[in-house]
Copies of this chain bind each other. A is one copy, B any other.
Amino acid sequence: MTRQKVKMAFIENESSRKATYKKRKKGILKKANELATLCGVPVGVIIDSPYDLTPEVWPSREDMDNVLSQLQRLPVMDRTKKMLNQESYLKQSISKASETCKKLTKENKELEMKEVMFDCLSGKTSPSRIEKNDLGACGNVIEQYLRNLNRRIEILSKNDGASSSSVHVVASTSVAMPIVELGSSSTAFCDMIRQQQIQSNMNQNVGSLDLNQQQW
């Protein structure tokens, strides 16, 4: 009953391939028509179907002929240059996917760091146990956190000048930077813990500003 995500590969089974073909062809034609209608753009689709009697299908504008002949009239260089063949399309897709993947990896790393730091704060583990390689990511997280914190503090300053200005100095990003640069985790991390406490204090002072909106 649990449909697997359908591997993007040639469907071996003849009958299901044909079924898929029919459904998806219909889907594409509909989409093409919608694009043409919504955006007033000539759209043409060719499908060299081995299943339909006719080897081509045009779902769109009557004057698509004209577009086609315009295409023919262009110098060969210009049009081949700009044509995306399947290979280049796939390459594009892959590079996009790689980028997304990279981004997600980084994000995962940061989440992991947040967890580790949480554990440190609650006493489950100690900052000295953090892997050397993870210190960079850890630093990013802290830096990001400090940025948010400072933003909050500035908002706070506007509402309540006296109590918040003194906090601002402590929450400077310069505290976090050494972690990234030098890899000396302990001191900066203790600073961070202090800031946690500062955050608590701030929350007590100004309950109306929801500092817990911070993601961690």
Contact = CB atoms under 8 A, between A and B. Distances in A.
6 contacts: A21-B39, A27-B31, A29-B89, A41-B49, A44-B45, A56-B79
Quick one: copies of this chain in the complex?
2
A60 B86 contact: yes
Contacts of A45: 32, 43-46
B35 A21 contact: yes
B85 A10 contact: no
Contact of A86 (B50, B59, B90, B93): B59
Contact of A46 (B24, B37, B44): B44
B40 A10 contact: yes
Given A84-B59, A86-B61, A8 B24 contact: no
A28 B45 CA distance: 10
Nearest to A6: B38
Given A33-B93, A45-B45, A55-B70, 16 more contacts: A8-B37, A17-B38, A21-B41, A24-B39, A27-B31, A28-B32, A28-B35, A35-B47, A41-B48, A43-B48, A44-B45, A46-B46, A46-B64, A54-B82, A64-B85, A72-B72
A1 interface: no
A24 B31 CA distance: 8
A43 B55 CA distance: 11
Contact of A56 (B17, B33, B48, B82): B82
Interface of A: 8-11, 17, 20-21, 24-25, 27-29, 31-50, 54-62, 64, 67-68, 70-72, 79, 82-87, 89-90, 93
A56 B71 contact: yes
A41 B36 contact: no
A48 B42 contact: yes
Contact of A33 (B11, B83, B89): B89
Most-contacted residue by chain B among A10, A20, A35 (CB, 10 A): A35
A42 B10 CA distance: 12
